[in-house]
Structures are given as C-alpha cells and as structure tokens.
A and B are shown apart, each in its own frame.
Chain A
Amino acid sequence: MPLLDRHGAKAEIWTRSEGAAIDNLSHALVDWAVLPEALAQKTRDQRIGVVIPNTVRIPELKLLMRQLSLIAISFPSFGDGRGFSLARLIRNHGFTGTLRASGPLIVDQFAYALACGFDEVELPEASAVRQPVEQWVQALGQISHGYQRGYGDSGNILDRRRSARLKHAAAG
C-alpha cells in the first residue's frame, strides 16, 4: 500500500508476517494479537514493528515499546480521531521509533498527524489514487503556524509571540 512522509512518497521496507512467523524477515510487521509470540522469536538484528488497533491502552503497550522499531496505528475511517490521541500518548511515553498512521486518511489530516507525532502515512490504494502525493506535501504548508504548544516543532504562535516579547524586552 502507498506510503508517504513529509517529503513525499516513501519505499516500504517492512514486510507483513504470516501470523507470528517472522522467520528471517529483517523488518517484520506483525499484528498486535501475536506480538508477544513474535517478540519471543526475535533475533538480535531483526527489527519488529506492530500494527495496533486504535483501542489499545497505553499500559498494555508500554512494556513492549522498547523492543519495537515501528508502531502502525490503524485508522478504521478518517473520521475516527482516536489515533491522533494514541500517537500523542505513545510519544509522551517515550517511544522514539517510527510511528505510522495506517488507513484512509485525507490530505487535510496530514499536518495534524505529523504534529501528533506520526512520521508517515500508509494509505489504501483507492485513497492514494484520488489524492496524489503532491497534494499531501502541498497541504503541509497551508497553515503556517498553529496555536497549540507542544505539538510538532513548527513554531507555534504562542511560542513565537513569546520570543518576540523576549527580543523586544532585550532590545528595550
């Protein structure tokens, strides 16, 4: 399925496993249900990623997070925004690997997804055909600055006002 990040289209390096069988896959993407089984087989240089439903609770995930290189949060529909909060929580709890949003998102959610801590979006074929990659990249620049502190690093308005104030005070 088509994959993209803030720079545009991206090649997929992950392979979905059959059940818990990760064999000798270098980057194995497994289902949440079989994650413990897959982790038990993991060799030193294998990378494991997991696809989770958006209903997973942090305490269930937290202990396993350190062994994961990628977490893909499923978006059952674009209107179901639980994935945004779950991503924030996962980041807040210290996950530094790759966060992927997986599902029929729309272009207008791309900036939100990145701000909430996602790195990339994996789309169903039909969504990707209607919404070419250029639209996604272009949409990122539509709103230069948001108001929320602590979301992404794009220089939110409150912090910009603050630095303007400090600069002004230093100059004055």
Chain B
Amino acid sequence: MYRYDEFDERFVRERVAQFRDQVGRRLSGSLTEDEFKPLRLKNGVYLQLHAYMLRIAVPYGTLSSKQMRQLALIGERYDRGYGHFTTRTNLQFNWPKLRDIPDILDLLADVEMHAIQTSGNCIRNVTADHFAGVAQDEVEDPRPTAELIRQWSSLHPEFDYLPRKFKIAVTGAEHDRAVIKAHDIGLRILRHPDTHEIGYEVIVGGGLGRTPMIGKVVREFLPKADLLAYLEAIMRVYNLEGRRDNKYKARVKILVHEIGTEEFSRRVEEEFARLDGPSVNADPAEVARIAAYFAPPAYETLPATSGAFEAARAGNPDFARWVETNLTPHRQPGYAALTISLKPIGAPPGDATSEQMRVVADLADEFSLSEIRVTHAQNLVLPHVKLSDLFAVWQRLGEAELATANAGLITDIIACPGLDYCALATARSIPIAQALAQRFADPARQKEIGVLNIKISGCINACGHHHVGHIGILGLEKRGIESYQITLGGDATENAAIGEILGPGLAAEDVPDAIERIVSVYLAQRQAGESFIDNVRRIGLAPFKAAFQDTNREVSHAVA
C-alpha cells in the first residue's frame, strides 16, 4: 500500500488547518454562505435532510487495517456507531456535528486519510478495480496510476472550479470491475498490440445522472509517460468549453455529445501537442517510487490447493455456498480474494458498524496482510487470504454477521441513501432494497438465479447506478406518491450499457412482484449456463415487457 512521505503528510495536515481557517472565516462573516458552500463540499461536508454528512475518501478503495480501525473509532466517537460505504468507494458518516469535523479530519490525517475533493466541482476521489494486484486477468496494477492521479488532482490550481464534478476510474484488467465507461474519464491499462509497450486507452464522457451516457474512446493508446500531460489537456478543454449555463448540462459527457467525439478528441490532441509534456509529466523515477509501494506482498509459497480447505468445503454446505459466491481466484497459488458482503438480508446496503469494521480489521491483520478493499458494489474485500485459513475467517465473519453468501447475486443490491437521508431524494431506496432482499432471501433460489445486479437510486441523480444495473430501479415522485421506474439490460462492465425502461412506474409495494416476474421470464427462457444479462441480450426486452405489463394490470395501485 502507498505510504505518505513527509510531503504528503504535510499537505494533508495543512489542508486540515486550511479548512479550520475556512470555517473560522465563515463564522466571522468574511465568507458568505454561498462562498463557503463549495469550500465545505470540497472537503466532503454535505448538508443533508437531518444533519451534516462527512464523506471520507478511500482512494482507489484501498484501506489498511489501521485505517479501518480509525474509521471505527470515528464512527463511535462522532457518529452513531456505523458508517456507509458508497459506490465510489468512499465512506460516509451521516450524523457528525459541524464543530467536530476538523477534529475528525485530524484523526484521519493521523492514518494518512482525508476528505479532500470527495464532493464539489472538482476532480473527485479516483477509483480503481477492487481486485487490483490480485486479479488473474490484469495487465498492470492500476493503483500506481490512481495514486499518481490522486496526487496530481489534489488542490489543482487550474481545475478546482470546473463546470461540474469530475470522476476518474482506472482498470488494469480485461474485465472491467471499475465501471470505467460510466466515468468522466475512464483509463484502461493495456499493451500496445505491436510494440507490447504499456499504455492507456482513454475514454471520456461517460456518466450517469439524469442524462446517462457511455464514455467514448478519445485515444486508443497513450504512452504511459504522457499521462499527466494528456489529462491536463482534457481538463483544460473541458474547463474552458464545458457548459456553465445549465448545471444539468455541465458534465463533460454533454460537451463530448454536443461537439462530437471526433471534435473533442481533436481539441484535446491539439492542446496536448502544444503543451510542454516533459514539464508536466511525472518523471519515471517518481512513477517507479509510487509503483514500488504496490509491489506484491511477501506471499508464502503454497500448493495451489489446500486439503483442509477442501475438507471443510465438503463437510459444510453453508461454507461451500459462501465459497462459491464470495471467493475470487488469486494470481498467487494457494491464496484467494474474498468478498465480505455488506448486504445481509434486511439491512441497509453498504452500512457497517464500528464493531464490524474492527472485526474486518482484525481479520485483515491475522489473515490478509493487513489489507482491505472497498468495492463499488458497496462490499469489502480481504484480498490475500490463504485457502487454508478460509474456514476460520468465514466462522469469524459469521459471528459478526458478515458472512452473507450473496456476492454478485440478486440480493447483493446497490442502493443510494434515498429519502431516508438525502435532501435531493424523490423516493426511498433502502426500504426497497430491504424488501427485495427479503423476497429473494432463500439461498437455493438465489443460486438458481445466479449473477444478477439490482441497482436502486432514490432520484434521477443516479447515485445508486440504476442505469447500469441488470435491473435498475429509480424512485420518483408522482403527485406526492413514490413511483418506481424499472429498467432492464444495463451493464456496468466492459460491455457497458444503459438499461431500458420497461413500462409505467410502480408503487413501492408492487416492486418485489414486478422483479419476481422479470426473473421468472429469465428462468423460463434461459438456455443452459446462460446468465440473466446474457439472456436479456439474446431474447430482447419484449418478453420481459409483456410479463411486466401483466403485473401492472393485476395490481390495483400502479402509479401512472
């Protein structure tokens, strides 16, 4: 994992002091409320329905056990004993007091963490594949790139007052687990087909929100050394040309859409050619310095299988089921990456209590080289667990209600905070997730259905990624009543797609039935081994629409 040097340490400490000063200037009247608002947002402080909310950055989803313990402590001391992991791998506390926030920031700085740029019209927390450094399909670890971008984008003098927020994601693998095509910039590390040199495919203009768009390739191959200069060129074009007349049209996706990918790319290339790359780019020694922190840890040399593990699996069906869903193969023989589901049936997706955070931290110390990952699906990962330790880890997780065997299944639901917390919400989302999880709780049925991503947002802003859910649920408000719009066929991977609306909105209590019908169509029509999303692609929307309309006809309270 990356460790701060004296410069990083000083930077973060000075940023905390600067925030204290900003709060002071607001209180003394030097800053108006309008002037202070972006300053607090750029330090992760939101005003929500009931209280302030603090969003803490977990850069590229990597946490140490020590950092996790500090989050547990903050949750206990300054919140209500829990935190919420988000789809951007951040952690949110929903109930801190404004006056405590500088102290919380100090505690974060003690463990090399911060809340810098977790909100506001600036470059946000950079995300990456949560199986970085572990995945078998990886060309190069994306974390050194993400860390370089984290540093470069922090308090950038030119790009801190952008037209709108700006999100960057990086993957180094063939299979995209970082949703890079739904980001303002998505970077895919790849090898040049001819020279085999490592570089980036650069994708710009993806985004969700009220106008969902899939990103476009603006550069097929960018040499690695040119990264920062190229990013500078993209950001400069966007900062100057992005729309500022309408905040709903201010994201870079709209600029790319309006002027066309080719013209956008031409402007970026022109600026990139003109600017003095060597004066902007990090020198290779700096890139190497960062990369060294992500060198593979000291693994033991182990056989590819473990007798104890196989025996436990054969002897315990619950363990076997968990292994089947929550384990990801590791590139190091004898190890596995395991997903800790934060989606126990009936609980708000993504929440973890301080107690649970400590359990995860302890397990990471004992069994996973002190490392933890946060995923965009709002789960946690222990990335380096020996097969022979898995049974013990599973038992300990179970005691803390962290051993739900549902990673990737229908009850592994992404949901935004919705009307329970969020000031912008038009409907609840957490209770919908809870009702669906309860409806599909039966493990045998979940297994039968297989991989199926349900994603729920409580308003058009799409924080719950509903557009790219295999099944997406969007909560709206129609004449004072919550109305849920169902979409089908979205995909968050390298085959990224925006889901299509199935029909009129439904009342909250009818959502589980509607989902049930959609699932029944799949179960009836699938071919052997065909996943839900593959089935939707093959047979198209029509059969699902027909079934959906039946639901609509039967229920009395369908909301038009």
Per-residue 0/1 for B285-308: is the Cβ within 8 Å of any A Cβ (1 yes, 0 no)? Answer: 110010000000000000000000
A143 and B161 CA atoms in complex are apart in Å by 18
Whether a CB of chain A sits under 8 angstroms from the CB of B193 is no
Interchain CB contact under 8 A, B239 and A78: no
A45 and B246 CA atoms in complex are apart in Å by 45
Interchain CB contact under 8 A, A150 and B7: no
Whole-angstrom distance between the Cβ of B446 and the nearest chain A Cβ: 46
Whether a CB of chain A sits under 8 angstroms from the CB of B31 is yes
A116 and B18 CA atoms in complex are apart in Å by 20
Contacts of B282 in A (CB 8 A): 149, 158
Closest to A114 in B: B157
Interchain CB contact under 8 A, A88 and B236: yes
Contacts of B18 in A (CB 8 A): 108, 142-143
Interchain CB contact under 8 A, B17 and A142: yes
Per-residue 0/1 for A114-133: is the Cβ within 8 Å of any B Cβ (1 yes, 0 no)? Answer: 01100000000000001110
Chain-B contact segment, one of A14-22, A23-31, A34-42, A159-167? A159-167
Whether a CB of chain A sits under 8 angstroms from the CB of B30 is yes
- Selected from A89, A135, A165, the residue in CB contact (under 8 A) with B25 is A135
Interchain CB contact under 8 A, B35 and A146: no
Chain A interface main SS type: helix
Interchain CB contact under 8 A, A150 and B280: yes
Interchain CB contact under 8 A, B276 and A130: no
Q: With A150-B276, A157-B151, A161-B289 as given contacts, are A135 and B157 in contact (CB-CB < 8 Å)? A: no
Per-residue 0/1 for B1-20: is the Cβ within 8 Å of any A Cβ (1 yes, 0 no)? Answer: 00001011011001101100
Interchain CB contact under 8 A, B285 and A130: no
- Selected from B39, B151, B239, B279, the residue in CB contact (under 8 A) with A108 is B39
Chain-B contact segment, one of A3-11, A64-72, A79-87? A79-87
Whole-angstrom distance between the Cβ of A79 and the nearest chain B Cβ: 6
A78 and B32 CA atoms in complex are apart in Å by 12
Q: With A142-B17, A143-B14, A147-B152 as given contacts, are A130 and B236 in contact (CB-CB < 8 Å)? A: no
Whether a CB of chain B sits under 8 angstroms from the CB of A152 is yes
Whether a CB of chain A sits under 8 angstroms from the CB of B29 is yes
Q: With A81-B161, A146-B157 as given contacts, are A89 and B236 in contact (CB-CB < 8 Å)? A: yes
Whether a CB of chain B sits under 8 angstroms from the CB of A148 is yes
- Selected from B17, B154, B239, B279, the residue in CB contact (under 8 A) with A150 is B279
Whether a CB of chain A sits under 8 angstroms from the CB of B263 is no
Whether a CB of chain A sits under 8 angstroms from the CB of B542 is no
Q: With A81-B160, A108-B39 as given contacts, are A146 and B14 in contact (CB-CB < 8 Å)? A: no
Whole-angstrom distance between the Cβ of A3 and the nearest chain B Cβ: 19
- Selected from B14, B152, B289, the residue in CB contact (under 8 A) with A144 is B14
Contacts of B236 in A (CB 8 A): 85, 88-89
Whole-angstrom distance between the Cβ of A146 and the nearest chain B Cβ: 6
Interface residues of B in 1-57 (CB under 8 A from A): 5, 7-8, 10-11, 14-15, 17-18, 21-22, 25, 29-32, 35, 38-39
Interface residues of B in 210-244 (CB under 8 A from A): 228, 236, 239-240, 244
Contacts of A116 in B (CB 8 A): 157-158
Contacts of A51 in B (CB 8 A): none
A82 and B289 CA atoms in complex are apart in Å by 34
Whether a CB of chain B sits under 8 angstroms from the CB of A32 is no
Whether a CB of chain A sits under 8 angstroms from the CB of B98 is no
Q: With A89-B236, A165-B285 as given contacts, are A84 and B158 in contact (CB-CB < 8 Å)? A: yes
Q: With A79-B121, A82-B239 as given contacts, are A161 and B7 in contact (CB-CB < 8 Å)? A: yes
Interchain CB contact under 8 A, A78 and B152: no
Interchain CB contact under 8 A, B35 and A92: no
A149 and B240 CA atoms in complex are apart in Å by 20
- Selected from B5, B31, B157, B239, the residue in CB contact (under 8 A) with A106 is B31
A130 and B282 CA atoms in complex are apart in Å by 39
Interchain CB contact under 8 A, A81 and B279: no
- In the complex, which of the residues B7, B160, B281 has the most CB atoms of chain A within 10 Å of its own CB atom? B7
A92 and B286 CA atoms in complex are apart in Å by 25
Interchain CB contact under 8 A, A148 and B157: yes
- Selected from B29, B38, B39, B158, the residue in CB contact (under 8 A) with A88 is B158
Closest to A75 in B: B161
Interface residues of A in 99-121 (CB under 8 A from B): 106-109, 111-113, 115-116
Contacts of A150 in B (CB 8 A): 276, 279-280
A64 and B158 CA atoms in complex are apart in Å by 24
In the complex, 25 of the A-B residue pairs with CB atoms within 8 angstroms, ordered by the A residue number, are A81-B121, A81-B162, A81-B239, A82-B240, A85-B158, A92-B275, A106-B35, A108-B39, A112-B160, A115-B157, A130-B31, A131-B25, A142-B18, A143-B15, A143-B18, A146-B155, A146-B156, A147-B11, A147-B154, A149-B228, A150-B276, A150-B280, A157-B151, A158-B151, A161-B289
Known A-B contacts: A84-B239, A88-B158, A130-B32. Give 8 more (CB < 8 A). A82-B240, A82-B244, A85-B236, A107-B30, A107-B31, A147-B156, A149-B280, A151-B157
